[in-house]
Amino acid sequence: MTQNADSAAARSLAFPGNDGKPHRVTWDDKSLKIDGERLTVWSGEFHYWRLPSPDQWRDVLQKLKASGFNAVSLYFFWGYHSSKPGSYDFSGIRDIDRLLTMAEEEGLYVIARPGPYINAEASMGGLPAYMTTHGGEERTADPQNLAADLEWLKVVNRIIGKHQITDGGGSVIAYQVENEQIDNAPKHVEYIEKLQAVVEEHGIDVPLFHNDWGDGHGYNVPGGPGGSRLDLYAFDTYPLGFDCKGARGKLSDFESRIRGYSPKTPVFIAEGQGGAFTSWGRDFQSGECAKFVDEAFTRQFAVNNLANGVTMFNSYMEYGGTNWGWTGDPGSGFTSYDYGAPISEDRRITPKLAVHKEFGYLQNAVKPIASAQNVTPPTITSTGGGPVKAQQRLSTENAEDTSVSGNGMRLITLRHPDSNDTSTSQVTFPLDLADPPKAATSASAGGNESGEDKNSAYRRIPQQKNTAISIAGRDAKTLVADYAFGPHRLVYSTSQVLTQLDAGGDLLALDGTKGETGETVLRFASKPKVTTLDGAPVDVTWDADRKDLRLNYTHGDARTLRIAGGGKELTVLITDRDAVATTWQLDAGRSDILVLGPELARTARLSGAQLDLTGDTRKPGPLRVFAPKNVDVLTWNGRRIDASRDDTGALVATLPGPQKPTMPGIDSWRTADSDPEHAAGFDDSGWKKADRTTADNPKHGPGEASGVVLDTDEYGFHEGDTWYRGHYTPAEASTTVKVSAKTGTAGHALVWLNGRYLGAQGDGTTTHKVPDGVAEPGKPAVLAVLVRNMGHYEDWSSDGRSKTGRGLADVAVPGSGKVRWRIQGAAGGPEPADTVRGICNNGGLYGERKGGHLPGAPDSSWRTTQSLKSERPGVRWFRTETELRLPEGSDTAVGLRIADNSARADKYRVQIFVNGWNTGQYVNNVGPQQEFVIPSGFLKERGKNTIALAITAEQTGVGPDSVELVDRGTVLGGVSGGQNESPGYRELLGAERSRGQ
């Protein structure tokens, strides 16, 4: 995309995860430590398979890093890498070695979560589909299951193991064994223990943990059942639930319970709600989930977690992505896995990301938070709304260095105890610090207002009359008090500390809600000089008794102050929560810098007097940078820009914005009927016989009526559509055909007898009527059934649901006599010729087998049409080429929108292929997704793109009203990358064609 790409790619931030040296990872009850130094782990969950554009992995990682995340949590999806036993693919879109290297380069620690079982709304919860044929229980030490699991771990641990921080290989700092085992039944305990032992044998020596599926079980604690080799205890928590149109769940305290389970480990949330998934047929999409799990909740949650001592947190999801192809599970996921997450499916930054930034920056800037312990909170006085709950933590570690009074840094958190209370309360409270001595304060404390405590150092804060701290509805606040940074002393602030850094001078940034007042008190040896460098002035009060400088202001327009006294100088930036979205703290190597203005500042590098920045803009606008004083050359995305210094000493410049792309229209399609399998005379002699009479997995049959095993997985067809043809000669006229299909949620099956369409059905059993004369006694008959597999179920409850099976369970045709079945699925079965797109890309539609989804497929004999409506039930393909001209040096999110006015009445579904890549599935009669994000790796940004639609209609005259490409937004910037290299028709099927087949 942009020319700056290579420099970004070459960049390696200096941090312990990539300096090539071995590091020690230890922990205590307070936090994790790297080489003895405390680390609050602030991590975002990212699923590489949901962004099948490896170049853009860097985009997401840079967005995380710039937003204050210091870690990324990665599930590894076994089934995505393994299409058949013993075979593993880690190339191209599956190159996890490259992913781990990128995380190192971008300065992110990694929490590795390779399963074997991961859940994750992934097909079969991450297990490879061939495991459905196993007889024993999944997620137990059943020998066949365990052997497969251990093989996967061995293979994936070889890659993860190379990237461990402990031997200098990389930035992996923790490792999750399995995922949310349902209970501590002996068979589950035995299993988890076996996995741990083998993981150790594979040389994984970073802390091991398992994620308990809530905060109320205490399963798999270190040293307990199922935890004998685990180091950390972690749990998952989704306080709001997943019904994005329902009522929000409530926040509660958990610290003492968690410490009861595991007293010697940090409070660690392995998955904390960052959004919610969306399911087939719901009346909401991810947009609703972004509103449900909104900014207010995200802040409340972060504040509540700080109050409960959480020093390891991972947000699930931070970037959700796309269930492209057949990667999703049917129960909980349609194509979009946007999740309402802070970074949207099309990689846009949403306002929620700025909330995570507030807390990422805060914890990074105020290090004592990592060692703070729960203490009695101040007594709150609240007026005007519901009660307010205060919690307080105190860090006594290095108190002498880190606090004003020598007693230690305090973190005071405020929220309504009922986290769904929408009233606005005004809060004041006395703040008791050991210094200054109480006696010295009595003269200067505020008047006789309520909420005073004359025995406290500060009888009432805020001290400013007629002001208070607002808790507006579902808001929550975090106040830092008694905190020293460098030579500076922060007595307290009712604003939130956004960050403090040395960016060519010490800088403290404070944020708050626009329109709300803030009060900040700093301690000086003697009265300092305060200069307002820009913005509105603040009220400055000098308290000579306490030697306190008090600043009072209202958050809104940004202000910059310079405070100088006693040989030290501090720049104070008073900003607001809205502006946090466009404020970026970056590690520039020699120094940190602070960038204000752009949509995104990704990277910064200082060399001599030159500062190179990369980032994105959504529109032209101002850039302001706090950087070392010697910087006089500024570049943005590789181009020099004119910059000057403003009154505050910051570099200022103007950044250009993007060009708006024009999306090409689609005016016609080439179309062909594409289901010859339904016809009586179709030659299926080359198909596999489905004639097995036993299956290890009893859920796979044999069918009671058919007497044979029909499950697709038993014949090596694991994804998408599968055709069946059953031949028989009826003794009497067939009047009904009873079909039991296993499609998964929202799937379907279409049934033909002797070429006559009998009807369609969903998952389960349906009896189809046979019209007179369709199958006559003594005459050979053929049943044709097309079954769509919506993915394999998860196994969340460890009850074997994932082994339900797919395709046909059974078919009963009274009077049919023996039916001889043949089955046809994806070309190559578990060995697809297209190893680039891989097993998840295709099912067994005729058009897929013939390469109709691929660029360059011969469609010249196909008819040209404008209509996408069906002419009869069955499968029809539509192809078109469209020329994109996306602006260079930009990142445009392109979507494909399907319009239909039938109010979900018309029964049809569309499989969408873009340049051969299976982009997603539209199901008109189920919904709700209408617009599909096209992963940028699928697209040719400048040039011809092939769009192919496979429309399976259950009725005549149904189909989309229109299909169009839509511009979902453009930024100038982005990281480099383009289309994934992938074979077209000629490469994959050209040879076959020339052999005349």
Question: Residues interacting with ligand IPT, by CB under 6 A?
Answer: 118-121, 179-180, 213, 236, 238, 271, 277
Closest separation between CB of residue 860 and ligand IPT, Å? Answer: 46
DSSP string, 185-224: -HHHHHHHHHHHHHHHHTT--SPEEEEESSTT--TT-TTS
Closest separation between CB of residue 623 and ligand IPT, Å? Answer: 38
Distance of CA 785 to the CA centre of its chain: 37
Closest separation between CB of residue 324 and ligand IPT, Å? Answer: 17
Provide the angle, in degrees to the nearest 10, between the axes of the packed helices 96-105 and 143-162.
40
Closest separation between CB of residue 611 and ligand IPT, Å? Answer: 40
| Burial class of residue 864 (count of CB atoms within 10 Å of its CB; 0-12, 13-18, 19+) | exposed
Task: Give the residue with the Cβ less far from ligand IPT, 152 or 277.
Answer: 277
| Separation CA 887–CA 897 (nearest Å) | 21
Closest separation between CB of residue 236 and ligand IPT, Å? Answer: 5
Provide the angle, in degrees to the nearest 10, between the axes of the packed helices 351-365 and 295-307.
20
Closest separation between CB of residue 23 and ligand IPT, Å? Answer: 28
| Separation CA 598–CA 63 (nearest Å) | 13
Closest separation between CB of residue 274 and ligand IPT, Å? Answer: 9
Task: Give the residue with the Cβ less far from ligand IPT, 238 or 682.
Answer: 238
3-state secondary structure of 70: coil
Task: Give the residue with the Cβ less far from ligand IPT, 315 or 674.
Answer: 315
Task: Give the residue with the Cβ less far from ligand IPT, 274 or 847.
Answer: 274
Task: Give the residue with the Cβ less far from ligand IPT, 109 or 213.
Answer: 213
Closest separation between CB of residue 418 and ligand IPT, Å? Answer: 23
DSSP-assigned beta bridge partners for residue 654: 622
| Separation CA 51–CA 95 (nearest Å) | 12
Residue 799, both tokens: 């009850």
Task: Give the residue with the Cβ less far from ligand IPT, 327 or 402.
Answer: 327
Task: Give the residue with the Cβ less far from ligand IPT, 27 or 213.
Answer: 213
Task: Give the residue with the Cβ less far from ligand IPT, 250 or 820.
Answer: 250
* Structural contact between residues 344 and 938, judged by C-beta atoms closer than 8 angstroms: no
Residue 308, both tokens: 């409960």
Picking from 167, 49, 65, 164, the residue whose alpha carbon sits closest to that of residue 118 is: 49
Closest separation between CB of residue 740 and ligand IPT, Å? Answer: 28
Task: Give the residue with the Cβ less far from ligand IPT, 328 or 889.
Answer: 328
Residue 383, both tokens: 């007026």
Task: Give the residue with the Cβ less far from ligand IPT, 236 or 616.
Answer: 236
DSSP-assigned beta bridge partners for residue 895: 933, 966
| Separation CA 96–CA 958 (nearest Å) | 42
Task: Give the residue with the Cβ less far from ligand IPT, 119 or 671.
Answer: 119
Exposure string over 62-99, b if 16+ CB within 10 A, otherwise e: bbbbbbbbbbbbbbbbbbbbbbeeeebbbebbbbbbbb
| Separation CA 848–CA 853 (nearest Å) | 6
DSSP string, 348-410: -B-HHHHHHHHHHHHHHH-GGGGG-EEEPPPPPEEESSS--EEEEEEE-TTHHHH-SSSS-EE
* Structural contact between residues 418 and 250, judged by C-beta atoms closer than 8 angstroms: yes
Provide the angle, in degrees to the nearest 10, between the axes of the packed helices 54-66 and 96-105.
30
| Burial class of residue 318 (count of CB atoms within 10 Å of its CB; 0-12, 13-18, 19+) | buried
Closest separation between CB of residue 196 and ligand IPT, Å? Answer: 18
Residue 222 phi, psi dihedral angles, 5° rounding: -55, 130
Task: Give the residue with the Cβ less far from ligand IPT, 230 or 508.
Answer: 230
Position of minimal CB gap to ligand IPT? 119
Closest separation between CB of residue 521 and ligand IPT, Å? Answer: 43
| Separation CA 939–CA 917 (nearest Å) | 9
| Separation CA 413–CA 391 (nearest Å) | 5
Task: Give the residue with the Cβ less far from ligand IPT, 238 or 542.
Answer: 238
Closest separation between CB of residue 712 and ligand IPT, Å? Answer: 25
Task: Give the residue with the Cβ less far from ligand IPT, 219 or 584.
Answer: 219
Task: Give the residue with the Cβ less far from ligand IPT, 106 or 271.
Answer: 271
Closest separation between CB of residue 619 and ligand IPT, Å? Answer: 34
Closest separation between CB of residue 124 and ligand IPT, Å? Answer: 12
Task: Give the residue with the Cβ less far from ligand IPT, 169 or 275.
Answer: 275
Closest separation between CB of residue 308 and ligand IPT, Å? Answer: 18
| Burial class of residue 145 (count of CB atoms within 10 Å of its CB; 0-12, 13-18, 19+) | buried
CB atoms within 10 A of CB 983: 19
| Separation CA 416–CA 380 (nearest Å) | 12
Closest separation between CB of residue 179 and ligand IPT, Å? Answer: 5
Q: What distance, in Å, lies between the first and last C-alpha atoms of the chain?
A: 40
* Structural contact between residues 507 and 570, judged by C-beta atoms closer than 8 angstroms: yes
* Structural contact between residues 764 and 741, judged by C-beta atoms closer than 8 angstroms: yes
Closest separation between CB of residue 118 and ligand IPT, Å? Answer: 6
Residue 565, both tokens: 């006294």
Cα distances from 17 to residues 5, 22, 170, 234, in angstroms, run 22, 9, 5, 22
Task: Give the residue with the Cβ less far from ligand IPT, 117 or 687.
Answer: 117
Closest separation between CB of residue 53 and ligand IPT, Å? Answer: 22
* Structural contact between residues 490 and 410, judged by C-beta atoms closer than 8 angstroms: no
Q: Is the dihedral of CA 399, 492, 479, 381 positive or negative?
A: positive
Task: Give the residue with the Cβ less far from ligand IPT, 237 or 918.
Answer: 237
